[in-house]
Amino acid sequence: MGRARYLPPNLITGASIVFGLISMGSAHRGDWRLAGWLIIYAVLSDRLDGLVARRLRATSELGVQLDSFADFLNFGVAPAFLMYTFLTSPEMIDGAVALPFDHGSGRVYLITGCIVWVLAAVFRLARFNVAADKEIPTRLYFGVPTTLAGGLLTIWFLAFLKYRVPGDTFGGAKLFGNELTTPRAVWLALPGAMMLGAFMMVSSLRMLKIARAESLLITVFLLLNVAVGYVLGFAQMYPEYCVWMPTAWIVIFLVWGRLAEEARYLRPPPLFPATPTDPPGD
């Protein structure tokens, strides 16, 4: 296949960038549902380009850099833009929930959350690129990946959006009942949730990667749920179901990273070169 084998994974990365761009356009015109699902499409395609690259033996430095630029747009800028445009939209400012994000300290709170999120995503991606050439444990993440953080923020947003008003909305039947509505406190907490997600991205918290487990039963369970997540994600269905697996993974394995003997004392590779000692006599 020669150089042609590098084309498929890079085309998938390019498609994910298109998803991010269309997501921002959708958010700008107030189509919050589509904007959110397009970020989820970017999450799913981000997993696919790596799989295709490995299968075709088409991993390359160019692909790594393209993937980082795509992740910055899709999981840094696009989620922050979605949160900002939604929370400052007239229907949220002047509607029944009356959010205070268009003036004063509420506006500062929201803008700070969005800025911190984007900067954390940039730092996380730069850190990953620096660490890629160094000796790091293959089964661990240090900090939550941008893909997981951006996808989790967005899928929770979609679940809350689905229950924003009573009655039929989108994404299939309401699994928690038609009368349940998203409390105003959830929308007020979103900027704080972005700051928490930003901290988890830039932290050195140890977290296990999704991989084959020692138990065949657990492996099958994980693979089935990943497959269900892909089907529901691309079909834009049941966001309230899709939230559980990434949420459980983060909670369980961040705790595991603090308690497990094999992970507790591991440290991420340094970001900066060691400071050389001054030569004698200087």
The terminus-to-terminus CA distance of the chain in angstroms comes to 58
Output the CA angle 76-265-147, nearest 5 degrees: 15
Whole-angstrom Cα distance, residue 40 to residue 36? 7
The more confidently predicted of residues 89 and 143 is: 89
Whole-angstrom Cα distance, residue 149 to residue 94? 30
Mean pLDDT computed over every residue of the chain = 85
Contacts of 183 (CB under 8 A, 6+ apart): none
Q: What is the mean pLDDT of residues 164-172?
A: 81
Among all chains, which residue has been given the structure tokens 């959006």? 161
The more confidently predicted of residues 85 and 277 is: 85
- Using only C-alpha atoms, what is the Rg of the chain? 20
Whole-angstrom Cα distance, residue 15 to residue 47? 13
> What pLDDT score does 129 carry?
78
Tokens of 105: 């300290």
User: Which amino acid is located at 47 in the chain?
Assistant: R
Among candidate residues 48, 44, 51, 42, the one with its CA nearest the CA of residue 69: 42
The more confidently predicted of residues 281 and 134 is: 134
> What pLDDT score does 282 carry?
45
The more confidently predicted of residues 165 and 216 is: 165
Q: What is Dmax (Cα atoms) for the chain?
A: 79
Q: What is the pTM of this model?
A: 0.89
| Percent residues over pLDDT 70 in the chain | 86
Tens digit of each residue's pLDDT (9 = 90 or more) over 91-122: 888 776 788 998 899 999 999 999 999 999 99
Domains of the chain and CATH, by start: 6-264 (1.20.120.1760)
For residue 22, what pLDDT band results from cuts at 50, 70 and 90?
very high
Whole-angstrom Cα distance, residue 34 to residue 86? 12
Tens digit of each residue's pLDDT (9 = 90 or more) over 133-159: 555 656 677 888 999 999 999 999 999
Q: From the centroid of its chain, how far is CA 248? A: 14
The more confidently predicted of residues 269 and 165 is: 165
> What pLDDT score does 273 carry?
62
114 near 86, Cβ under 8 Å? no
> What pLDDT score does 210 carry?
65
